Each structure stands twice: as structure tokens, then as C-alpha cells.
Amino acid sequence: MPNSPSPTGRTDVVALTDRTDDRPVYVIGGGPGGLAAAAALRDRGVRAVVLEKADRVGASWHGHYDRLHLHTTRRWSGLPGLKMPRRFGRWVGRDDVVRYLEKYTEHHELEVVTGVEVNRIDPAPDGSGDWQLTATGGRVLRGRAVVVATGFNHTPRIPQWPGRDTFTGELLHAAEYRNPAPYADRDVLVVGIGNTGAEIAADLAEGGACQVRIAVRTAPHIVRRSTAGWPAQATGILVRRLPVRLVDRAGAVMARIAVPDLSAQGLPRPGTGLYSRVREGAIPVQDVGLIDAVKNGRVVPVATVASFDKDAVVLADGTRLTPDAVIAATGYTRALEPLVGHLDVLDAQGRPVTHGGRTPKQAPGLYFTGFTNPISGMLREMALDAGKIAKRVARAH
């Protein structure tokens, strides 16, 4: 008799190797993308087993900084089959996202196996079209399809700046930042002005750091999270199918109306159109305090980092700073190469060549979700991808 999932969605690891005779679909990753895919598959009568290397679902969300709220609305951030509760508010906080993912797992009675990390995916050696997964503990699992959902922000990346190892101050990645308390009355340099860097800089300025600078390589597009009640996400959804030039022009007009010119403070308007930048992978910064902080001098934009020299950080313009701490909001790598790099399914940047319901021609039955960061909202797109994947899998089998 098959084991049933526990109330938390976890399945006994020992049972995993005893229940593969029916060739389930394996979903790698117990974050929003993986859980959504598993729920959509289950809804179509397809058995899906979620493999999560951590000890709980939504593990990465537990580690995000305290201040974090979704930049997408509650309405468009829910996953298939369960809305986010109204009590979470319009902009859902980190802890409520965690609660939602746990409730989602329980609500859909998802089969989640924690503490299992998949190291490699290969076609089954018998040529059947199945997939073979090599996992921790010497496990070799077999599934009829695989959904890779290990996350857009998988492995923190800090550039190999010259002299980095000589720095005598504190250097950490933004993934390690939790709140401004440890940086009260300290001089902090935030490197990177994406959404994470911008929000951490504002958090530090509001939380008592004596000096906050933010190192900028390329001036970002900054948009209001909401204007007169209209969320930026709604605009992102509407313009996705429009010509790039048209959206660039409209974005420039909106920026002049809604966002002050911060050139005098060291943050000029970008020279490239908003949607052109999005198509290159650069999502606009949604303002949650950065504009006011820069305008009032509480966050000071500076040139990008060139190198480190003991207690100093040398900027690209030659300026030398001596911050107490440097927080690198310099992004993440997908880290998919060990898992699927040998299958020729990644592009030059290590991103999957397909996502959602499409699979690589040379790897039918291998699906990817959560590796794009669209202007319309990542959670919304993962929810849509889940339905496409489930439909394709059900049709194929």
C-alpha cells in the first residue's frame, strides 16, 4: 500500500526507492515553480513527486531578508488551485509567502520528498524515453518526465574583483543579509542596483547605517510599484505583446511623470528604453524607498567597483572608499551545468533553451520552469507554465 504524504507534504525518504515502478514525473525543487507544476500535474491525474534538497518546501524564501515583500500583487501571485488569502495584503511579505507555500503543499496533498538532492539527469539507458535521476544517498530514480524547478536565484555570485581576498572589512552576498540592525552606525557599500540592491540600500538608510552608498554599473529604469492604485505589474502584463519601440516610448513618458530626475544625485535616467532592457534580461527597479533615499542624500550612488585594496574599495572612476561592510547584490547563477549541462539544453549563459510546456528537441520529456524573470511577474508566469507543462505531459502519456 503506498505511503501517504504527511500533513506537511513530506514523504518518507525510504519509501522513495520503493515507489518508482509506476514511473512518476519527478519535479526537482520545492519552491513555487516546482509546487505549482506538481499541483497542475496532480490535477490532471499524473503522479508527481517533488524532490527538495532542503528540509522543507520554500526553503529559499525562509532565508530572504526580513523586509522583503513581493513586487507583484497578491491577486497575480497565487499558484494554480489556491488563492492567496486577502489578509496577506496587496503586497505579500516574506513570512506570508512561506505560509502560503506550506499551505499550498498541504491543500493539494503534494508528494514531497525532502532531504534529497538530484545531482544529474540522464536519458534512461534502455532507450525507452524515460529519464534517470542520480541523487544523494546513491539513489537512482526513473521517471517518465522531469520538471526542473531549482530556481532563478540558485547560487549566490560575487565577482572575482582584483584584491577581493585582501579586503579587511566585511564582505557578504545579499543572500546573507537579513536586516539593518548589525549595520547601525556603520559605513556600508551596496554593490548592484537591481531590485535586491536597491531595497537593501533603502533598508540600511532607514535602519540607522551612518553612510550608505550604492555602486552602479548601469543606471536602471526605476518604476513606482503602484501609481494611483495601478500596479506596475498590470502594465507589465499588458505590454508584453506590444512592439518594443512603442513600449520604450511609453515608458519614457511615464518615467518623466512619475519618477524625479536624480541626475544631480548621481543617478541619471538610462539611455536605453525600458522594454529594450527587459528583453536583454534587466528588470526595472520597483521603488520601495530608493527614490526618496537618493533624493534626500541618505543613499549615495557611486561608480561601480573596480578592485579591493586591503581596507579600501577602488571604484571605476578611481575613487577610494573605506566602508566597514560591502554587501554584494551581484546576482546568482542558475548552476544547472552539473545537472543537465551534458544534455546540450542550456544557452551560453547557462539558462535553459526552453521553458514551460516546450521541451528541447533532443530532450523530450525534460521541462524547465522558473528560470525567466518576466516583467509580468515571475510567480504569475510559473503558474501559467505549470498548466502548460501538465497539459503537455498528460497528452504525451
User: Which pLDDT tens digits describe the chain residue by residue (397 residues)?
Assistant: 334 444 444 444 434 443 444 689 999 999 999 999 999 999 999 999 999 999 999 999 998 999 999 999 999 999 999 999 999 999 999 999 999 999 999 999 999 999 999 999 999 999 999 999 999 989 999 999 999 999 888 899 999 999 999 999 999 999 999 999 999 999 999 999 999 999 999 999 999 999 999 999 999 999 998 888 888 888 888 888 889 999 999 889 988 988 999 999 999 999 899 989 888 878 899 999 999 999 999 999 999 999 999 999 999 999 999 999 999 999 999 899 999 999 999 999 999 999 999 999 999 999 999 998 888 899 999 999 999 999 999 998 7
According to the model, what pLDDT value does residue 142 have? 96
Q: How far lies 101's CA from each of 38, 57, 82, 107, 351, in Å?
A: 13, 7, 10, 10, 25
According to the model, what pLDDT value does residue 154 have? 86
204 touches 186 (CB < 8 A): no
Phi, psi of 329 (to 5 degrees): -95, 60
Q: Look-up: residue for cell 572612476? A: 317
Helix axes 32-43, 378-396, angle to 10 degrees: 40
Q: Quick one: which of 105, 157, 107, 79 has its CA closest to 377? A: 79
What is the distance between the alpha carbons of residues 228 and 7, in angstroms, rounded to a whole number? 42
According to the model, what pLDDT value does residue 306 have? 98
Q: What is the DSSP letter of 214?
A: E
According to the model, what pLDDT value does residue 278 have? 86
What is the distance between the alpha carbons of residues 336 and 345, in angstroms, rounded to a whole number? 10
Amino acid occupying residue 281: G
Q: How far lies 269's CA from each of 91, 256, 264, in Å?
A: 27, 9, 11
3-state secondary structure of 83: coil
**Residues with Cβ within 8 Å of residue 389, at least 6 apart in sequence:** 37, 40, 41, 147, 356, 357, 367, 369
301 touches 294 (CB < 8 A): yes
Ordered DSSP codes for 293-357:
HHHTTSSEEEEPEEEEETTEEEETTS-EE--SEEEE---EE---HHHHGGGT-B-TTS-BS--TT
What is the distance between the alpha carbons of residues 391 and 148, in angstroms, rounded to a whole number? 16
What is the distance between the alpha carbons of residues 189 and 301, in angstroms, rounded to a whole number? 10
